[in-house]
Chain A
Amino acid sequence: MKHTLFISDLHLCHTRPAVNTLFERFLSDIAPQAEALYILGDFFEYWAGDDDLIEPLHTSIAQQLSRLAASGTRLYLMHGNRDFLIGEAFQRAAHITLLPDPTLIDLYGQPTLLMHGDTLCSDDVEYQTFRSQVRDPSWQQSFLATPLSARKAQIEALRQRSEQEKSSKTAEIMDTNPDTVAATLRAYHYPRLIHGHTHRPTRHMHTVDGKTCERWVLTDWYNSGGYLRCDAVGCVAHGLEIFNS
């Protein structure tokens, strides 16, 4: 049956080879059956700029995606809070199309809003401030003008701080804000919503202005990973079969 797959928050990095292998298997065994694959952000643990395509992992991923596209699966990508500097060169190399966040699509007749999910966490004021800075085109331009090694060092420092801060932030701040979710659903005329970012995979039902909306949160790949499979009947979340037993 015709279907579309959604993944996010893989945080692919050369330091976690097991997950890279899992993703390779996903690309060769599961993804080719889908007519489209959407990667909704934080695909890479970090992205210093498209000139970092030369890193072996990045080249390999781009090649594998390009092979998948060649076999007939349409590929789409959204920026996350880690990999928002993915640009034209990566898109060309991977045969993947970058989508704005949010993007509304028609998914087998059901209007579906796709987001990374970080903008829904409006209680995380510190992050939202950081986000408006780094999504500013002139900031990005001057950042990308610095040498790659300097950019990577800065990113690494940021990552360390982010790990420390995560442990002090309360659970409420890091989840989506219900009012922000409701406002978003209202603004887009009550679609189904699919996003990642919070690493709390589940299916929520929201009632907004009397209308019921489905919200799917995608799983991260820090454990054994997974994907959301949608077809004309609906969406089902799948874990990855690591042992096929």
Chain B
Amino acid sequence: MVKLKTNHGDILLELDAAKAPLTVENFLQYVRDGFFNDTLFHRVIDGFMVQGGGMNLDMSQKATRAPVKNEADNGLKNDAYTIAMARTSDPHSATAQFFINVGNNDFLNHSAPTPNGWGYCVFGKVTEGQDVVDKIRKVRTGNKAGHQDVPVENVVIESAEIL
């Protein structure tokens, strides 16, 4: 269990180490290192997802460790209120950034071990604080520092801790 303390409230995450062992361990290491403290939910798209864990408060990008293997073929689906790893179009490029689905995003699910079919690895879900996620998904967004869908007023992950 991991608790994210945000400036909108707490989000409790139950992680599935059985289904996504490498991803969960990678995430927990960032939590232990205090990496997520004072980072932003920097990309919010209502109906799709809220993404964070990689930007400082000034929108500069944090340096991460090496990428983690994609475990999206674990059968877990990108359903609403699950948490998954963000990455580039390279299937095995996920590092620190994650997103919480705020819709059933079928098109993100693993369909084949090909560059286009790999999908995005779900590694847990929000067990408490769905109402906090719902507050975050509704914030006003705009363009900032060359990025789109950035909350006009910072949505901050004040701290992340293992319970």
Contact = CB atoms under 8 A, between A and B. Distances in A.
A35 to B, nearest CB: 23
Given A222-B107, A239-B115, A245 B89 contact: no
Contact of A224 (B94, B108, B147): B108
Contacts, number: 61
Contacts of B120: 242-243
Contacts of A238: 89
Interface in A214-245: 219-220, 222-226, 237-245
Given A16-B107, A223-B107, A245 B116 contact: no
A245 B107 contact: no
A223 B111 CA distance: 8
A153 interface: no
A239 B89 contact: yes
Contacts of B105: 18
Interface of B: 43, 47-48, 51, 54, 86-90, 93-95, 97, 99, 103, 105, 107-108, 111, 114-117, 119-120, 147
Given A226-B89, A239-B115, 16 more contacts: A18-B48, A18-B105, A18-B107, A222-B107, A222-B111, A223-B116, A223-B117, A224-B89, A224-B108, A239-B89, A243-B86, A243-B87, A243-B97, A243-B99, A244-B43, A245-B87
Interface of A: 16-19, 21, 201, 219-220, 222-226, 237-245
23 contacts: A16-B107, A17-B47, A18-B48, A18-B103, A21-B48, A201-B116, A223-B107, A223-B108, A223-B117, A223-B119, A226-B89, A237-B115, A241-B89, A242-B108, A243-B51, A243-B88, A245-B54, A245-B86, A245-B87, A245-B88, A245-B93, A245-B94, A245-B97
